[in-house]
Amino acid sequence: MKPAIDIDLDEIMERYPGRPESLIFLMQDVQAAFSYISPEALTLVCDYTGVPMSQAYAVATFYQSFSLEPRGEHEIKVCLGTACHLKGSQRIVDELSRRLGVDAGQTTEDLKYTLETVNCLGACALAPVVVADEDYLANVTAKKLNKLLKELSQDIEERP
């Protein structure tokens, strides 16, 4: 989830034609590159596609993939799909939310972690499943969460 500062917004715009139907594509690419959509980026996308700000804002809030606020360095996603639910994934969300001090969908104040939930990752055989950044954790238990949080915090500390 490290934002790629060197990606240029203009370069993203050039990937698609400047038409209203490019709106979602552009917002997805901005989201992927910066892990959120800043007001400047949204303005630029609107100017480029000719979509009014109010409509772009409606799109940004309608779809769950878009975030208008900066996100944490690490994203922890807990699957709340049916298979995971039956195997107690709500307890895992509760536990993480207690440890990190944020609710699902929120980012910690130090911008280190974002806690998210997702509905089925298609790995139901491994339920309950947690995805930390890109890594899948199978059959998650409280013990595995301890290990995960430890690894992630070490990763943050080790960075200059």
Partner 1 sequence: MSKASTAPQLEGQRLNSVADLELLRQNRQEQQDPNRAEVIVCHGTGCLANGSPKVAQALKQAVAAAGLEAAVKPLIKITGCHGFCSRGPLVVIRPQGIFYQRVQPGDAEEIVEQTLKQGQTVERLLYHDPQSDELLATVEDIPFYNLQQRVVLKNIGWVDPTDIRDTILRGGYLALAKALSGMTPEQVVAEVERSGLRGRGGAGFPTGRKWRSALKAIEKKGRPVYVVCNGDEGDPGAFMDRTIMEGDPHAVIEGMIIGAFALGAEQGYIYVRAEYPVAIRHLSLAMAQARELGLLGQNILGSGFNFDIQINRGAGAFVCGESTALFTSIEGRAGEPRPKYVRSVEEGLWGRPTVLNNVETWANVPQIVEKGGEWYAGIGVPHSTGTKVFSLVGKVNNVGLVEVPMGVPLAHIVEKIGGGVPGGKPFKAVQTGGPSGGCIPYALKDTPVDYDSLTKAGSMMGSGGMIVMDERDCVVDVAAYFLKFLEEESCGKCIPCRLGLSRMREMLESFGMGQGSEEDLQDLGSLAAAIADGALCALGGSAPNPVLTTVRYFKDEYLAHINEHRCPAGVCKELITYSIDAEACTGCMTCARACPQEAISGQKKKPHVIDEAKCIRCGICLESCKFGAVLVR
Summarize as ranges the residues that interact with ligand FES (CB under 6 A).
79, 81-84, 120-124, 127, 129
Residue entry with tokens 């709106």: 23
Residue 51: C-alpha distances to residues 87, 101, 160 (Å): 44, 38, 41
For residues 100 and 130, is the Cβ–Cβ distance under 8 A? no
44 binds partner 1 (CB under 8 A): no
Nearer to partner 1, 72 or 158 (CB): 72
126 lines the binding site for partner 1 (CB under 8 A): yes
Of 95, 32, 93, 27, nearest to 58 by C-alpha is 27
The residue whose Cβ lies closest to ligand FES is 81
User: Does residue 53 interact with partner 1 by CB under 8 A?
Assistant: no
What is the number of other CB atoms lying within 10 angstroms of the CB of residue 2?
A: 9
9 binds partner 1 (CB under 8 A): no
Choose one: 6-14, 36-44, 117-125, 152-160; the region binding partner 1 (CB under 8 A): 117-125
The token duo for 24 is: 């979602």
Place of tokens 């595995």: 144
Footprint on this chain of partner 1 (rule: CB under 8 A): 20-25, 27-28, 49, 51, 55, 58-59, 62-66, 80-83, 85-86, 88, 91, 94-95, 98, 118-127, 129, 136, 138, 141-143
